[in-house]
Amino acid sequence: MDRTAILSELKKVLSPYTENKEQLNGITEDTDLIKDLKINSANLVDIIIDAESQYNIEIDFDAAEKMYNVGNCIDVISEKLNKTA
Amino acid sequence: MKSAGNDIVALNAIDIQRTTSTAFYSKFIIPEERAFYQQPQFGAVPFQNFVWLLWSVKESAYKYLKRLQPDLVFSPSKLIIRNITVPHIQSTAEAAVWESGNKNEEFHTGEVISGTHRLYFRSKITGGFIASIVNDTPGFENVYWGIKSIQNTSYEHQSTEVREFILNKLRQILSVDNLRIEKTSEGCPVVFNAENLLDIAVSFTHHGYFVAYSFYSVSS
């Protein structure tokens, strides 16, 4: 799965946690989950759990703490997908 | 340099089943912290409240430290809670507006460690929310803390309400009217009086139907 495909799937993961659907549709790798998408920090773990389910991967402590913007989320997911391939 | 950090979790906005799954809480609670829940003092505390108590303390500590270390990344498993004391009297009642100041009120208390930093926390748990603040001294002298319920949960409403709530308190404390809040590029809130940046560390938070502030000020 390439980064564009991961980004497309990631929008579905993030959607329940942001009110700003317009901003979500236009996200880039620089988009910050909290500052730009206004996602409540209390939902960050939900996003990690949902990403694990969406991509059938396991995201550990060290990887999870990098997932504060979209580019970092894609890095983590991509790395985990490559390990399971 | 003083800082401030707080967090609030609205209990009607959480998924209890998900919260209590190992897959969820193990993302930010380490085994040594999980072991606190076996202590008799937690006998009457639902496990989901324990999980969100630890989250709110770690989030508060992160906000406190982020102002001091702007490149800090939120890493809840590295913000380690060393001990927790549950209050003898736990009141779950809540008012529309609550502000600290009652010296007899008891809180959940303890320490949170991040590298060489040792911080102290106070948490208030009601039927509706879990709210925490942190500070670098256990007495919380000159630390102001307020919690308020609001009418709707839209981000815009929460954001407007929490700013008004803290600005009203600051106007009262500082006896000035021309206050406004901005955020630094790192996301830390700062207070201006007209064009003058004030030396007051503030923190605010919102979730569901609740907003809360904390700040340090020696003015009164």
How many beta carbons lie within 10 A of that of residue A35, not counting itself?
14
Res B92: pLDDT: 67
pLDDT band at A41 (very low <50, low <70, confident <90, very high): confident
CATH number, domain with residue A28:
1.10.1200.10
CA A82 vs CA A6, A58, A61, A70, A75: distances in Å: 12, 12, 18, 18, 11
Res B220: pLDDT: 59
Does residue B93 have a pLDDT over 90? no
- Measure A63 CA to nearest chain B CA, in Å: 10
> A49 and B27 in contact by Cβ < 8 A?
yes
pLDDT (average), residues B171-179? 93
Q: State the amino acid at position A18 in one-letter form.
A: T
Q: Measure the CA–CA gap between A22 and A41, rounded to whole angstroms.
A: 20
Q: Measure the CA–CA gap between A48 and A36, rounded to whole angstroms.
A: 18
- All domains of chain B in start order, with CATH: 1-220 (3.90.470.20)
Res B101: pLDDT: 86
Res B99: pLDDT: 93
Q: State the amino acid at position A24 in one-letter form.
A: L
- Measure B20 CA to nearest chain A CA, in Å: 12
- Measure B70 CA to nearest chain A CA, in Å: 15
User: Quick one: tokens of B78?
Assistant: 């590295």
Does residue A62 have a pLDDT over 80? no
Q: Measure the CA–CA gap between A46 and B118, rounded to whole angstroms.
A: 28
H or E segment and range at residue B173: helix B155-174
pLDDT band at B94 (very low <50, low <70, confident <90, very high): confident
- Measure A36 CA to nearest chain B CA, in Å: 11
3-state secondary structure string, A43-61? HHHHHHHHHHHHHCCCCCH
Res A66: pLDDT: 80
User: Quick one: tokens of A62?
Assistant: 């060290």
> B207 and A48 in contact by Cβ < 8 A?
no
Does residue B64 have a pLDDT over 90? yes
Over pLDDT 90: what percentage of chain B?
85
Residues of B in contact with A20 (CB under 8 A): 155
> B23 and A42 in contact by Cβ < 8 A?
no
User: How many distinct structural domains can be found in chain A?
Assistant: 1
pLDDT (average), residues B74-90? 90
Residue with token string 């996200």: A27
Considering only CA atoms, which of B217, B172, B220 is closest in space to residue B198? Answer: B217
Across B22-60, b (16+ Cβ under 10 Å) vs e yields eebbebbbbeebbebbeeeebeebeebbbbbbbbbbbbb
Q: Which of A54-63, B181-190, B207-216 has the highest mean pLDDT?
A: B207-216
pLDDT band at B216 (very low <50, low <70, confident <90, very high): very high
Print the domain residue range for A56. 3-84
Res B65: pLDDT: 97
> A48 and B27 in contact by Cβ < 8 A?
yes
Contacts 24+ apart (CB under 8 A), A42-48: A42/B9, A42/B13, A42/B14, A42/B52, A42/B55, A42/B59, A42/B207, A43/A17, A44/B74, A45/B24, A45/B27, A45/B28, A45/B55, A46/A17, A46/B15, A46/B18, A47/A13, A47/A14, A47/A17, A48/B27
> A64 and B27 in contact by Cβ < 8 A?
yes
Over pLDDT 90: what percentage of chain A?
67
Contact B25, B37 (CB under 8 A): no
Does residue B219 have a pLDDT over 80? no
Res B80: pLDDT: 97
> A49 and B14 in contact by Cβ < 8 A?
no
Res B91: pLDDT: 67
Does residue A85 have a pLDDT over 70? no
Res B102: pLDDT: 83
Contact B134, B143 (CB under 8 A): no
For A60, nearest residue in chain B (alpha carbons): B27
Summary mean pLDDT of chain B: 93
pLDDT tens figures, B134-148 = 999 999 999 999 999
Does residue B90 have a pLDDT over 70? no
Residues of B in contact with A48 (CB under 8 A): 27
Residue to test with chain B: of A40, A73, A75, A76, most B Cβ within 10 A: A40
Give the B window 114-153 contacts with A, CB below 8 Å.
none
- Measure A65 CA to nearest chain B CA, in Å: 5
pLDDT (average), residues B105-125? 96
